[in-house]
Amino acid sequence: MSAVIKRFPVRLDTRRGTVDMTHGSGGRAMAQLIEELFVRHLDNNLLRQGNDQAMFPVDAGRMVMSTDGHVISPVFFPGGNIGSLSVHGTVNDVAMSGAKPLYLSAAFILEEGFPLADLERVVMGMAKAASAAGVPVVTGDTKVVEKGKGDGVFITTTGVGVVPEGVNISGNRAQAGDAILVSGTLGDHGVAIMSSRENLEFETSIESDSAALHTLVADMVNAVADIHCLRDPTRGGLATTLNELAHQSGVGMTLNEDAIPVNPAVTAACELLGLDPLYVANEGKLICVCDPGDADRLLQVMRVHPLGRDAARIGEVVEDAHGFVTLDTSFGGSRVIDWLAGEQLPRIC
């Protein structure tokens, strides 16, 4: 007879079970959730240390750290889920400094009643994304809130990374004459999310572009160390991100509408909903501002990478004390590209 007593005699019911308050109480139920769900899928040596923190050696040099909260609704969407998104979001925020991301932490806020099967899918999505990116989740936390006080699951991830020598990327470095590049088509993520929202439900083949961009960034930095700015145009889309950069650098920008890549299905969905693709969120795209002499070399490198296939040069930085981002329209006129005001709401007629 075996003398080993199982720590948790009854396995966590990830088929029919739901999150309850005991899963956040610090007791045995929480330990079981961590072991049988989180550690099982996210497994790595540092997580296995089983401490309240992860310990790892660091090299001399500059590190970056970034944190990002994820509250997306719906939790599952075409092309990903909140778990994969929470990995990509933070990996990208770290990578936009030119850094190589090393480790992630993840804090889960679960709502009582959230199905364990859904939680497992989320954690598996997270594990797959982390493993594909080569950036492990090495420490985490779980809290449970009462029913009605959350929206299923919220995830906050934090990432650290190291910045290569000679790389100095910052939002305040755009200068007049610089070229503005974008790594691919715009608006895919936002449209994918909208298509799966309960009150919209339109059919589209568009999937979220959610992806980790750090290998693309590494290729770019290898080719041209002195990239001036990098930023991922997430909420508020290209328009809002460019306004941020223009404001931070004290410059203006002029874009060429013809050069901005947008998937025709995204254009169609936006047309239908009365939205502007330039304001729709992306989760796997980056904007790069660089010396005009470096633009062609960077585009070449980007287009070789699978996440930069549709990279394009979309405009240039200009002197402008007002910090306006303007667009030369395909139609032949011009207009301001403003910050996003409030949420993008559909037009009435």
Partner 1 sequence: MKYVDEFRTRELATTLARAIAREADTGRQYNLMEFCGGHTHAIFRYGVQDLMPENLKFVHGPGCPVCVLPIGRIDNAIQLAEARRVILCTYGDMLRVPASGRKSLLKAKASGADVRMVYSTRDALKIARDNPDREVVFFAIGFETTTPPTAVAIKQARAEGLKNFSVFCNHVLTPAAIQNILESPEVRDIGTVSIDGFLGPSHVSSIIGSQPYEFFAEEFQKPVVIAGFEPLDVMQSALMLIRQINEGRHEVENEYTRVVTREGNRKAQALVAEVLELRRAFEWRGLGLVPYSALQIKSAFADYDAERRFDLPAIQASDVKGCECPSILRGVKKPTDCKLFGTVCTPENPMGSCMVSSEGACAAYWSYGRMRAPDRVAVKVESVA
> x/- string (CB under 8 A) for partner 1, residues 225-264?
-----------x---x---x--x----------------x
CB of 132 to partner 1, least distance (A): 28
**Does residue 272 contact residue 136 with C-beta atoms inside 8 Å?**
no
| Rounded-to-integer distance, Cα 249 and Cα 171, Å | 7
| Rounded-to-integer distance, Cα 171 and Cα 174, Å | 7
How many Cα atoms sit within 13 Å of 20 on the Cβ side?
11
Amino acid of residue 231: R
CB under 8 A: which stretch of 6-14, 127-135, 140-148, 335-343 binds partner 1?
Answer: 335-343
Sheet order of strands, 312-318 included: 229-231, 287-290, 179-182, 312-318, 252-256, 325-328, 334-336
Cβ proximity to partner 1, 45 vs 329, nearer residue? 329
CB atoms closer than 10 angstroms to residue 74 = 13
335 scored as a contact of partner 1 (CB under 8 A): yes
- Binding to partner 1 (CB under 8 A) within 162-201 occurs at 199-200
Choose among 341, 229, 211, 232: nearest CA to 276: 341
**Does residue 95 contact residue 231 with C-beta atoms inside 8 Å?**
no
CB under 8 A: which stretch of 17-25, 50-58, 287-295, 326-334 binds partner 1?
Answer: 326-334
* DSSP bridge partners of 326: 254, 336
Cβ proximity to partner 1, 35 vs 328, nearer residue? 328
CB under 8 A: which stretch of 117-125, 151-159, 296-304, 324-332 binds partner 1?
Answer: 324-332
Choose among 42, 18, 23, 39: nearest CA to 126: 42
CB of 187 to partner 1, least distance (A): 13
Q: Which one of residues 6, 15, 16, 347 is an interface residue with partner 1 (CB under 8 A)?
A: 347
Cβ proximity to partner 1, 53 vs 329, nearer residue? 329
- Binding to partner 1 (CB under 8 A) within 47-106 occurs at none
Give 259: exposed, middle or buried? Use CB within 10 Å, 0-12, 13-18, 19+. middle
CB under 8 A: which stretch of 20-28, 73-81, 282-290, 338-346 binds partner 1?
Answer: 338-346
345 scored as a contact of partner 1 (CB under 8 A): yes
Tokens of 338: 């403003």
CB of 1 to partner 1, least distance (A): 56
Cβ proximity to partner 1, 21 vs 345, nearer residue? 345
Cβ proximity to partner 1, 28 vs 335, nearer residue? 335
Tokens of 213: 């961009």
Cβ proximity to partner 1, 224 vs 286, nearer residue? 286
Number of residues that bind partner 1 (CB under 8 A): 34
Query: b vs e for 37-61, b when ≥16 Cβ sit within 10 Å of the residue's Cβ?
Result: bbbebbebeebeeeeeebeeeeeee
149 scored as a contact of partner 1 (CB under 8 A): no
CB under 8 A: which stretch of 19-27, 282-290, 296-304, 323-331 binds partner 1?
Answer: 323-331
Q: Which one of residues 271, 293, 306, 309 is an interface residue with partner 1 (CB under 8 A)?
A: 271
| Rounded-to-integer distance, Cα 49 and Cα 129, Å | 22
CB of 314 to partner 1, least distance (A): 17
CB under 8 A: which stretch of 91-99, 109-117, 211-219, 266-274 binds partner 1?
Answer: 266-274
| Rounded-to-integer distance, Cα 72 and Cα 94, Å | 20
The contact set with partner 1 (CB under 8 A) reads 199-200, 236, 240, 244, 247, 264, 267-268, 271, 273-274, 321-324, 326, 329-336, 338-339, 341-342, 345-349
